[in-house]
Amino acid sequence: MDDRYKTFADALETEVLTEMAGTFFGARKTLEDMVEDFQLHVEELKFREAKVFSRVFFLRSLLLGPEGETAFYAELGIAPPFPDSRNHSGSRTWHPDSLPFAFRAATRYAKAVALAYAEVRHACEVYMTGEFEDDPEHSGRKRLSLHYRMLERLCVRLNARIDKVNTEMTPSSVLQYARNISSADQPGQGAISNSLGAESLDKGLMFQKIDFASLGLWKAPSLPPAEACEEAIRRFCARHYEQHGPHIKKVLADLD
């Protein structure tokens, strides 16, 4: 073979193999970064879950505990929406910056409960579908906050990407291609795949899809709008205040 031709062929082979390796390892590194980012999003959503339960615990304190909370939601015509709250973190000391004003303690209590319920419902909605918040990376701009539905969609897209890499860029196929284009006096690129077996090699380096259900993410309930519950809330609070007036006065006083 002409030396000039051989030099050109060797250079071309090296360039092709280098580019192929870059594409293969680059795709895997990109996918690894995507999986890592997804796990960070999972942890962030768990932090946002704690924000919801800080509102749940505040409302519960106004209702004088779990029994009052159960009776409250029964008045609204719904089953207790937070039955496993003991398994969730959240501040027990959070409260609004201020409580509504009213001349009568009973009226103020009803307004405070209505406000607390509205906070719980809003927090659940934001957790599930997000809200616009300041974008820390772009001053003066807004972005949609991370939320449960967004993480569901990210998981679907990430699994599709995993499927694509696992099926279209298998290690054995890349090694086989490298062997096929290697020059005759430089054999051996396929030795690894031959020794391990293509199926074993691919299985060992395969990316695992993410089982969304196994992440253990809490799913917030869908609660009726506060406006639709105003009469039921007033009715419950009037009865609850009549039964527990002194205790409720103390709770309100502690919040002032």
pLDDT tens, 43-92? 999 999 999 999 999 999 999 999 999 999 999 999 999 988 777 777 77
Can you tell me which residue has the tokens 């607390």? 116
Residues in CB range of 35: below 8 A, 6 or more apart: 158, 207, 210
**Of 111, 84, 52, 71, residue with least CA distance to 252:** 111
Model-wide pTM > 0.85: no
Q: What pLDDT is attached to residue 171?
A: 59
Q: How confident is the model at residue 6 (pLDDT cuts 50, 70, 90)?
A: very low
User: Amino acid identity of 15?
Assistant: E
Q: What pLDDT is attached to residue 176?
A: 58
Tell me the percentage of the chain whose pLDDT exceeds 70. Answer: 75
Chain CA centroid to CA 59, Å = 25
Q: Which pLDDT tens digit goes with each residue over 157-189?
A: 999 988 888 887 665 555 555 555 554 455 544
Name the residue ranges covered by the structural domains of the chain.
3-255
To 10 degrees, what angle do helices 105-129 and 230-255 make?
100
Q: Which pLDDT tens digit goes with each residue over 210-238?
A: 999 999 899 999 999 999 999 999 999 99
- Is the separation of the CB atoms in 75 and 236 below 8 Å? yes
Gap between the Cα atoms of 51 and 55, Å rounded: 7
3-state secondary structure of 212: helix
